[in-house]
Amino acid sequence: MSAQPIAATRGTSSASAPPAGTPARPAAKAGANPPGHRRRDILLAAAFLLPNLVLLVAFTYRPLVDNIRLSFTDWNISAPMASFIGVDNYVEWFTSDDSQLVLWNTVVFTGAAVLGSMVIGLALALLLDQKLFGRNAVRSLVFAPFVLAGAAVGVAFQFVFDPTFGLVQDLLGRVGVEAPAFYQDPEWALFMVTVTYIWKNLGYTFVIYLAALQGRRAELDEAAEIDAASTWTKFRRVTWPQLRPATFFLLITVLLNSFQVFDVIDTMTRGGPLGNGTTTMVYQVYQETFVNQRAGFGATVATIMFLALLVITLVQVRVMERGREA
């Protein structure tokens, strides 16, 4: 599970957090402090922060920059040297048919994962916010798959979708439907990995929406009740607007997370069938760099992916801020 991107939005969106520069205490107090304390604070802050900052520089920022450099080379991951080949990799990526399919797969997978997990997560949150017997146990059940390793879920679901002995073909057989060729037909394969990913990550959208539902204001609900509004009108006019912050938050985090899925795809289909049937951009980075030994080209795909994510997130944050002002 990846918790990281959650905070990415908290950094930019959480209105409850004090602005970055706000001192912990009134600034006036700082002047009252003896100068010795000030020097002590600086030294201590350096000692406390430096190990972490060094790690972030060495393994996040340095490789980010280095990755851009590599994207202009023909490096093969093992050779000591690489030659500069200009924008050849970029030209290749943007003109190749493979990339079109990869891009399509990424968009379909990400779009379906975001939409699917948010709609179903919201429906489940609405359902389990009601007073039903056993709802606490079911809440735990819905959240549980989220803590499981994506690789383990992928391995297990390869068997769940097994065409002859699997769970899905058996259930479909009971209602007289023949199981589609999940492992031969690229479109069904993409469908299969998407469903698996949604199953695993539903718990996340569910708990965020549930928390939002529980934090909403009961008075508004009651006012709607008194007005005898229909259930749908009540949801649309009263509940949904209150869920807006959670919805924006999820749009950003779920998109970032599902864009980066590797484990489920690697364990279920290895990016296949028919070569690139379920290959997304992240999987292409891995495939080109470590399997095809084309690290330069892999770095190019990674750079394009990073820029795409950056633009999407910035647009989302902008839209969110506008939504809040409105």
Residues 74-93 that bind other proteins (CB under 8 A): 77
Q: Alpha-carbon torsion 143, 13, 106, 291, what sign?
A: negative
233-252 positions binding other proteins, by CB under 8 A: 244-246, 249-250
172-191 positions binding other proteins, by CB under 8 A: 173
Measuring CA to CA, which residue among 87, 102, 202 is closest to residue 145?
Answer: 202
Does the footprint of other proteins cover residue 99 (CB under 8 A)? no
282-321 positions binding other proteins, by CB under 8 A: 282, 285-286, 289-290, 295, 298-299, 302-303, 305-306, 309-310, 313
Q: Which residues contact 243 (CB under 8 A, 6 or more apart)?
A: 122, 209, 212, 213, 216
Minimum CB separation from other proteins for residue 36, in Å? 12
Q: Where are the alpha helices (DSSP H) in the chain?
A: 4-13, 27-32, 35-56, 62-70, 88-95, 97-128, 135-143, 150-160, 167-174, 186-215, 218-226, 231-234, 240-242, 244-259, 263-268, 281-286, 295-325
Cis peptide before 18 (omega within 30 of 0): no
Q: Of 110-118, 184-192, 199-207, 271-279, which segment contacts other proteins by CB under 8 A?
A: 199-207
Does the footprint of other proteins cover residue 3 (CB under 8 A)? yes
Quick note: the x/- pattern for other proteins over 136-165, rule CB under 8 A, is xxxxxxxxxx-xxxxxx--xxxxxx-x-xx
Among 108, 172, 207, 312, binds other proteins (CB under 8 A): 207
31-50 positions binding other proteins, by CB under 8 A: 33, 38, 40-42, 44-46, 48-49
Q: Of 91-99, 110-118, 186-194, 256-264, which segment contacts other proteins by CB under 8 A?
A: 256-264
Q: Are 246 and 211 in contact (CB under 8 A)?
A: yes
